Protein backbone atom coordinates (compact mmCIF):
# COMPACT_ATOMS: atom_id res chain seq x y z
CA UNK A 1 0.00 0.00 0.00
CA UNK A 2 1.41 3.39 -0.96
CA UNK A 3 1.14 6.35 1.34
CA UNK A 4 -0.45 9.67 0.53
CA UNK A 5 2.22 11.34 2.63
CA UNK A 6 5.73 11.88 1.26
CA UNK A 7 8.35 11.27 3.98
CA UNK A 8 11.79 12.94 3.99
CA UNK A 9 14.58 13.18 6.54
CA UNK A 10 16.84 16.09 7.36
CA UNK A 11 20.59 15.42 7.67
CA UNK A 12 20.35 16.06 11.42
CA UNK A 13 17.61 13.46 11.76
CA UNK A 14 19.64 10.93 9.76
CA UNK A 15 22.62 11.45 12.07
CA UNK A 16 20.44 11.09 15.20
CA UNK A 17 18.74 8.00 13.79
CA UNK A 18 22.00 6.30 12.88
CA UNK A 19 23.38 6.83 16.39
CA UNK A 20 20.19 5.59 18.11
CA UNK A 21 19.80 2.65 15.72
CA UNK A 22 23.11 1.26 16.99
CA UNK A 23 21.63 1.11 20.51
CA UNK A 24 18.07 0.17 19.57
CA UNK A 25 18.19 -2.29 16.66
CA UNK A 26 14.40 -2.36 16.07
CA UNK A 27 14.18 1.43 15.60
CA UNK A 28 13.86 1.29 11.79
CA UNK A 29 10.87 -1.04 11.92
CA UNK A 30 9.40 0.88 14.85
CA UNK A 31 9.58 4.15 12.89
CA UNK A 32 7.82 2.56 9.90
CA UNK A 33 5.04 1.40 12.23
CA UNK A 34 4.65 4.84 13.79
CA UNK A 35 4.22 6.36 10.32
CA UNK A 36 1.08 4.28 9.88
CA UNK A 37 -0.19 4.04 13.45
CA UNK A 38 0.34 7.66 14.49
CA UNK A 39 1.23 10.06 11.66
CA UNK A 40 -1.12 8.84 8.94
CA UNK A 41 -3.88 8.18 11.46
CA UNK A 42 -3.54 11.75 12.72
CA UNK A 43 -3.09 13.65 9.44
CA UNK A 44 -5.06 11.57 6.92
CA UNK A 45 -7.82 9.98 8.97
CA UNK A 46 -7.99 12.96 11.38
CA UNK A 47 -8.01 10.64 14.39
CA UNK A 48 -5.78 11.01 17.41
CA UNK A 49 -4.34 8.15 19.43
CA UNK A 50 -2.85 10.71 21.83
CA UNK A 51 0.69 10.25 20.58
CA UNK A 52 1.08 13.28 18.27
CA UNK A 53 1.29 16.76 19.80
CA UNK A 54 1.85 20.16 18.13
CA UNK A 55 4.85 22.10 19.41
CA UNK A 56 3.63 25.57 20.42
CA UNK A 57 5.30 28.50 18.67
CA UNK A 58 6.33 26.59 15.55
CA UNK A 59 3.01 26.04 13.76
CA UNK A 60 1.88 28.24 10.87
CA UNK A 61 -0.89 27.87 8.30
CA UNK A 62 1.43 26.05 5.88
CA UNK A 63 3.86 24.16 8.15
CA UNK A 64 3.06 22.54 11.46
CA UNK A 65 5.72 21.06 13.75
CA UNK A 66 4.78 18.04 15.86
CA UNK A 67 6.29 15.78 18.50
CA UNK A 68 5.52 12.07 18.71
CA UNK A 69 5.66 11.07 22.36
CA UNK A 70 4.47 7.48 22.08
CA UNK A 71 6.80 5.39 19.96
CA UNK A 72 6.82 1.74 20.99
CA UNK A 73 10.41 0.54 20.57
CA UNK A 74 10.69 -3.24 20.67
CA UNK A 75 14.37 -2.98 21.59
CA UNK A 76 13.31 -1.38 24.88
CA UNK A 77 11.49 -4.44 26.21
CA UNK A 78 8.78 -3.94 28.77
CA UNK A 79 8.31 -0.23 28.19
CA UNK A 80 5.71 -0.33 25.39
CA UNK A 81 4.68 3.04 23.97
CA UNK A 82 6.37 4.81 26.88
CA UNK A 83 9.82 3.93 25.55
CA UNK A 84 11.05 7.51 25.85
CA UNK A 85 11.93 7.91 22.18
CA UNK A 86 10.69 11.17 20.73
CA UNK A 87 10.36 12.16 17.07
CA UNK A 88 10.06 15.77 15.88
CA UNK A 89 8.68 16.38 12.40
CA UNK A 90 7.25 19.13 10.20
CA UNK A 91 4.01 18.58 8.30
CA UNK A 92 3.55 20.63 5.14
CA UNK A 93 -0.23 21.09 4.95
CA UNK A 94 -0.56 21.82 1.23
CA UNK A 95 1.75 19.13 -0.15
CA UNK A 96 1.18 16.47 2.56
CA UNK A 97 4.93 16.19 3.02
CA UNK A 98 6.63 15.26 6.25
CA UNK A 99 10.21 16.17 7.08
CA UNK A 100 11.64 14.35 10.07
CA UNK A 101 13.74 16.90 11.97
CA UNK A 102 14.95 15.14 15.11
CA UNK A 103 14.80 11.84 16.98
CA UNK A 104 16.10 11.44 20.52
CA UNK A 105 15.94 9.24 23.59
CA UNK A 106 14.46 11.04 26.56
CA UNK A 107 16.95 9.35 28.89
CA UNK A 108 19.75 11.24 27.13
CA UNK A 109 18.02 14.53 26.35
CA UNK A 110 15.02 16.12 28.03
CA UNK A 111 13.51 18.26 25.24
CA UNK A 112 13.66 18.90 21.51
CA UNK A 113 16.36 21.09 19.98
CA UNK A 114 14.40 24.29 19.40
CA UNK A 115 17.33 25.88 17.53
CA UNK A 116 17.32 22.99 15.06
CA UNK A 117 13.59 23.50 14.46
CA UNK A 118 14.12 27.23 13.90
CA UNK A 119 16.97 26.52 11.44
CA UNK A 120 14.71 24.11 9.57
CA UNK A 121 11.88 26.67 9.37
CA UNK A 122 14.23 29.35 8.04
CA UNK A 123 15.12 27.20 5.01
Q: Return per-residue pLDDT of the chain as tens, 123 residues.
A: 557 899 999 999 999 999 999 999 999 999 999 999 999 999 989 898 889 999 999 988 899 999 999 888 888 776 656 668 999 999 999 999 999 999 999 888 888 999 999 999 998
Tell me what pLDDT residue 113 has: 94
Q: How far apart are CA 95 and CA 103, in angstroms?
A: 23
Strands 97-105 and 52-54, how do they pair? unpaired
Strand partners, 87: 68, 103
Which among 83, 76, 85 is positioned nearest to 105, based on CA atoms? 85
**What confidence score (pLDDT) does residue 2 get?**
57
Q: Which fold has domain 6-122?
A: YaeB-like fold (3.30.2310)
pLDDT of residue 97: 95
Predicted TM-score of the model (pTM):
0.91
Which residues lie closer than 8 Å to 31 by C-beta, 6 or more apart?
A: 17, 71, 87, 103
Amino acid sequence: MTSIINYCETPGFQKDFKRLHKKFKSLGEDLELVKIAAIELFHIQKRSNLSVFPIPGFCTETIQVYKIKKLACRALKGRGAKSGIRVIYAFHCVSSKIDFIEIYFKGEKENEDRDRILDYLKK
